[in-house]
Structure 1
Amino acid sequence: MLAHAWPALFGFLLSGCSALGSVGADTFTLEGELPADFALKAQAHYGGSESCSSRGHVESFKEDYEKAPHGYRFEIPVSYRDGLCDLQLVRVGLFIYGRYGEKDWQQTYDNGELMVVSKAASEDNNNVSALPSPIYSECSWLFQESKLNLEISKLLSCKGAGARLNRKQLPQQTVILTFTVNPREEPYRDNTWIEFPEGWRPCLPKEGWQQCQDPPVFKTYRNNNIECTIYPNCTE
């Protein structure tokens, strides 16, 4: 999953059709660890049966950025009452945010999802564990030259940020989802930078293409208003 623009963070809480709704008593706990300069938003989506198919509701939970590695803990209701409709939790959308600088544009996010299913086996015949195992998601930074900001910009890719959860076993359960960062950064597009022992060097593209010329012709790039030849150390 690749990153997206920042403004989705901390948007308006989407509400259901009734302002008089209430969450159910049963909850499950979603908790884990976040790296430094990471934040997390979880959106719990609720839906109804056929007679209440037009009803829906979303509850949002968030853990903000911190300079050091930090934990998070969300108590997520497994049901929601909207008038005469009992809405059940169907999925939890995840927004994993990371920042790599102090400027407003130097932050981005990737997505994950926890699906809540009623059967012990999903539609693709994968078994759904009654007792969810800890989930570990590794996030990687993918760098590129930003034509808009004329500096290095990065995208975030988080693998494994999802699972299927058994609805009947979910109340009072604790689901552990922990995020780590791969220390190795790679280019966003293949064959646009070439790796050397000292780091990555950008190269001029073929005419009409994004990939490097063959043999490669190297160029400079700018980062923090400095002309550089190699990433991430700028100079060899």
Structure 2
Amino acid sequence: MNRTIRSLILVSCLALTQGCTALGRSNSFTLTADLPPEFTYEATAVYVPAKGEACTVPGGRNTQIGYNSDREDYKQDSEILLRRTVSGCPLVLHRVDFYVYGWYGKDRGDFGRDSAMIAVREELPEARKGTFNAAGLSEFAGQCQFLFRTSGGLRRIVKILDCKRMDESGVQPKAKPFVAYTLDQLPGKTVTLKIKQADEERPYMKDTWIKVPGGWKRCMGKGFEDQYAFCYGNYKDFSTFRMPDGRDYCTIYPGCTENKEVTP
């Protein structure tokens, strides 16, 4: 084999290797999250037929891919495919649906969760596109707050998670964390969901807890069998409750302390 042919083969092999690597980068982006301690996320990538395609996927079941569905195997980064072919049908990424989980206890159900979303379209007005810096990084932000309530005959504390979009102007009370990109913006890039936890928790339902020095006291209502137990102006009769960690006969949340001074 002469030197010219050998050189051509080496160049071709190198081009093939680099081409495969580039192809991999061009068909995915990295999804990651900057979350508070004891928070995780679960993401589902949703696909639709590519523009101009009339095909369908039988049952539609294979048009979704889930990431981080198991807390025990949680990983901060997920590699999201932009294009797939299922049952011979070319698909493109349409959106990524999130669940943000905030864990507050050791029991399997001791979590609150709320949603967020990345929308992906072939085209978007410039004003609606998410932006990337020179390093190919982009982020969208939200603030999550725990809302506490009691459940069951022992009035055990359980919590709901409420997440809102954050932008330069602050927290948007009627919007979930959201961002949108075009398909051609995403290859090889990194998108970060950045969540801040609110400094304080608040009651899930109004007129069920009363603010006191050091925290909140739970109105008794008609008794422990009264699951709603609204205060209805009774700021003298309060109940005990159980903390997620098992502490019983607590009277002040969140410290599980005693305090008789009540300020309606």
Shorter chain as denominator, the TM-score bin is 0.7 to 0.9
Give yes or no for contact 1:120–1:128 (8 Å, CA) kept in 2.
Answer: yes
Tell which deviates more after alignment, 152-161 or 88-97. Answer: 152-161
Alpha carbons of structure 1 residues 33 and 41: separation in structure 2 relative to 1, 3 Å: same
Amino acid at match of 2:158: S
- 1:159 equivalent in structure 2: 164
- 1:16 equivalent in structure 2: none
Q: Percent identity?
A: 30
Distance in 2 between residues matched to 1:24 and 1:79, nearest whole Å: 12
**Pairing of 1:10-25 with structure 2 (within 5 A):** none
Q: Does 1:61 align with 2:67?
A: yes
- 1:26 equivalent in structure 2: 27
**Runs of 5+ consecutive residues of structure 2 not aligned to the other structure:** 1-23, 166-176, 260-264
Give yes or no for contact 1:63–1:72 (8 Å, CA) kept in 2.
Answer: no
1:200 Cα deviation after fit: 0.7
Q: Does 1:51 align with 2:48?
A: no
1:225 Cα deviation after fit: 4.9
Amino acid at match of 1:87: L
- 2:254 equivalent in structure 1: 232
Q: Does 1:189 align with 2:205?
A: yes
Give yes or no for contact 1:204–1:213 (8 Å, CA) kept in 2.
Answer: no
Give yes or no for contact 1:204–1:216 (8 Å, CA) kept in 2.
Answer: no
Give yes or no for contact 2:32–2:78 (8 Å, CA) kept in 1.
Answer: yes
TM-score by length of 1: 0.76
2:188 paired residue among 167, 172, 194:
172
Higher strand share: 1
1:104 Cα deviation after fit: 2.1
Alpha carbons of structure 1 residues 220 and 63: separation in structure 2 relative to 1, 3 Å: same
- 1:213 equivalent in structure 2: 232
Query: Could you list the per-position Cα deviations for residues 18-63 of structure 1 after superposition, in whole angstroms to 9, with x for gaps in the alignment?
Result: xxxxx99510111122222222111111111551244541112218
Give yes or no for contact 1:202–1:229 (8 Å, CA) kept in 2.
Answer: yes
1:133 Cα deviation after fit: 4.2
**Runs of 5+ consecutive residues of structure 1 not aligned to the other structure:** 1-22
Give yes or no for contact 1:130–1:166 (8 Å, CA) kept in 2.
Answer: no
- 1:37 equivalent in structure 2: 38
Query: Could you list the per-position Cα deviations for residues 179-206 of structure 1 after superposition, in whole angstroms to 9, with x for gaps in the alignment?
Result: 2222311100122111123111112448
Distance in 2 between residues matched to 1:94 and 1:162, nearest whole Å: 10
Alpha carbons of structure 1 residues 130 and 173: separation in structure 2 relative to 1, 3 Å: same
Aligned residue for 2:54, secondary structure, equals: helix
Give yes or no for contact 2:138–2:190 (8 Å, CA) kept in 1.
Answer: no
Distance in 2 between residues matched to 1:59 and 1:65, nearest whole Å: 17
Amino acid at match of 2:231: C
The count of corresponding residues between Structure 1 and Structure 2 is 208
Amino acid at match of 1:226: D
1:111 Cα deviation after fit: 1.7
Flag as ranges the 4+ runs of structure 1 deviating above 4 A.
Answer: 63-66
TM-score by length of 2: 0.68
1:118 Cα deviation after fit: 2.2
Structure label with greater radius of gyration: 2
2:93 paired residue among 86, 89, 92:
89
1:98 Cα deviation after fit: 2.0
